[in-house]
Chain A
Amino acid sequence: MLRSALRHFGAATVGFVELDGHTEKLIYSVDPDGKQLVFSDVDQPSEDKTTRTIPMKAKWVVVYTVQMSEETLKRAPTFTGSQTTGLTYTRAANIQARLQEFLRGLGYMGLGEASTNALGIAPALGVMAGLGELGRINRLVTPEYGPMARVFKLVTDLPVATDGPIDAGIADFCRSCKRCAAACPSGALSMDTDPSWEVKGGWNNPGHEAFFEDSRLCRKFQREEAGTNCGVCFAVCPFAKKDESFMHGVVKATVASTPVLDGFFTRMDRAAGYGLKDPEEWWHLDLPEYGIDTTIGSRG
């Protein structure tokens, strides 16, 4: 029911995580605005100047993605490219408000993100909700949209059937691909073949294996050179595709089961010209609403 409602509100894919001793660690202890996030054995949530209190009975997280325009972000690193990211956050705020009202109508609470990227670690919750895998970009890469989706979350006391992590061969593919790291203008992404437990700095969340990025280099490039969000790593990812051609489905199915062909697919992806595109050309395109194909990932 929540999936249907969320897709109607504008979300792309939806998954659910139960908060337990492990997954509770994925909820921030401090929100981006400095307020403490505290779980407490109370009946109703509350908020004051320093603290947001989440009732212990609200132990499920609704995790959902919102599509970015792949065609638009392939104009990175420009204002044209980055506006699809901003648009996604704007749409997500609207979706969250609708989801909260929907839950309230059912008699349950919906404790969403108080600001951008708040409440919890989005990629981690996305992985735990089975929406994708953690890629070399240290962000969620989904089977449906590749990295061309943002992840949002909301805590509720509505009991839901939970999902688990998936293996679509994406993380394995990232070991050999490295297209994103090679294209990264700031050299912030790891070129290592294997993920590591060692973080690059305090900006990384420790306690899991990943291709940790140097966010300082990334942010420096965005602030001092690009003058806007970058997104080149998202744009060149071989999973960032539309789904018109039968070929993408065949490749994804093969990647999920036959990692030995990953290197071949990476070379073919490069040879076929997938990746960054001319920003000027974007103004002459006739893209669908929001620049996205809302039929991708639908359950028919």
Chain B
Amino acid sequence: MEWFVFGVIVGAGGYGLAVWLRRTVVRITWYEWTLGVIALVLALLALQNLFASRAEMEDKAGWMGLLFLGLPAVVLAAIVGGLVWRRGTVAQAPKES
């Protein structure tokens, strides 16, 4: 069940990203893609570990996994988001004459 939920979230997120990329002028570089994919994988592993640990009746292990895997995922996602947002701001800014 958990993988179904993950699949729906990732699918919806991927669709949203594809729609946004088609509309925006911002281009995402290869290293931003790489960091983004790593962040996504880490986030999914953190969630899998959280749900699985709760099923194992080992809540503390689940929360620890969320901290050690989820936090780097959030940091990486923030870095990628920041890079893309900065470039987007620059791309949309009026050119000086």
- Interface residues in chain A, defined as those with a beta carbon under 8 Å from any beta carbon in chain B: 71, 241-242, 244-247, 268, 271-274, 277, 285
Can you list 29 pairs linking A and B with CB atoms under 8 Å apart? Answer: A71-B57, A241-B56, A242-B55, A242-B56, A244-B52, A244-B53, A244-B55, A245-B48, A245-B49, A245-B52, A245-B53, A245-B61, A245-B62, A245-B65, A246-B48, A246-B49, A247-B52, A247-B61, A247-B65, A268-B64, A272-B58, A272-B60, A272-B61, A272-B64, A272-B65, A273-B58, A273-B60, A274-B58, A277-B57
Residue of A nearest to B55 (CB): A244
Residue of A nearest to B59 (CB): A273
Please measure, in the bound complex, the distance between the C-alpha atom of A242 and the C-alpha atom of B53, giving whole angstroms: 9
Judge if B45 is at the interface, Cβ distance under 8 Å: yes
Tell which of A244, A271, A277, A285 touches B64, judged by Cβ atoms closer than 8 Å. A271
Residue of A nearest to B65 (CB): A247
Please measure, in the bound complex, the distance between the C-alpha atom of A246 and the C-alpha atom of B62, giving whole angstroms: 11
Residue of B nearest to A275 (CB): B58
Please measure, in the bound complex, the distance between the C-alpha atom of A277 and the C-alpha atom of B61, giving whole angstroms: 14
CB distance from A272 to the nearest CB of B (A): 4
Residue of B nearest to A273 (CB): B60
CB contacts (< 8 Å) of A245 on chain B: these are 48-49, 52-53, 56, 61-62, 65
Say yes or no: A246-B64 contact (C-beta < 8 A), given A272-B58, A274-B58: no
B interface, size bucket: 10 to 19
B29-66 Cβ-contact flags toward A at 8 Å (1 or 0): 00000000000000001001100110111111110110
Please measure, in the bound complex, the distance between the C-alpha atom of A274 and the C-alpha atom of B58, giving whole angstroms: 7
- Interface residues in chain B, defined as those with a beta carbon under 8 Å from any beta carbon in chain A: 45, 48-49, 52-53, 55-62, 64-65
CB contacts (< 8 Å) of B56 on chain A: these are 241-242, 244-245
CB contacts (< 8 Å) of B61 on chain A: these are 245, 247, 272-274
CB distance from A246 to the nearest CB of B (A): 6
CB contacts (< 8 Å) of B53 on chain A: these are 244-245
Which secondary structure dominates chain A's binding surface?
loop
CB contacts (< 8 Å) of A241 on chain B: these are 56
CB distance from B57 to the nearest CB of A (A): 7
Contact A285 B57 (CB under 8 A): yes
Residue of B nearest to A244 (CB): B52
CB contacts (< 8 Å) of B60 on chain A: these are 272-273
Residue of B nearest to A245 (CB): B52
CB contacts (< 8 Å) of B62 on chain A: these are 245
Instruction: Give 4 closest A-B pairs by Cβ, nearest first.
Output: A273-B60, A244-B52, A245-B52, A272-B61
CB distance from B74 to the nearest CB of A (A): 19
Interface hub of A242, A247, A273 (most chain B Cβ within 10 A): A247
Residue of A nearest to B53 (CB): A245
Residue of B nearest to A242 (CB): B56
CB distance from A44 to the nearest CB of B (A): 49
CB distance from B26 to the nearest CB of A (A): 34
CB contacts (< 8 Å) of B45 on chain A: these are 246
Contact A246 B58 (CB under 8 A): no
Contact B57 A246 (CB under 8 A): no
Residue of B nearest to A74 (CB): B57
Please measure, in the bound complex, the distance between the C-alpha atom of A271 and the C-alpha atom of B53, giving whole angstroms: 14
Please measure, in the bound complex, the distance between the C-alpha atom of A273 and the C-alpha atom of B61, giving whole angstroms: 7
CB distance from A291 to the nearest CB of B (A): 12
Please measure, in the bound complex, the distance between the C-alpha atom of A244 and the C-alpha atom of B56, giving whole angstroms: 7
Please measure, in the bound complex, the distance between the C-alpha atom of A241 and the C-alpha atom of B45, giving whole angstroms: 18
CB contacts (< 8 Å) of A271 on chain B: these are 64
CB contacts (< 8 Å) of B57 on chain A: these are 71, 277, 285
CB distance from A266 to the nearest CB of B (A): 14
Please measure, in the bound complex, the distance between the C-alpha atom of A113 and the C-alpha atom of B57, giving whole angstroms: 36
CB contacts (< 8 Å) of A285 on chain B: these are 57
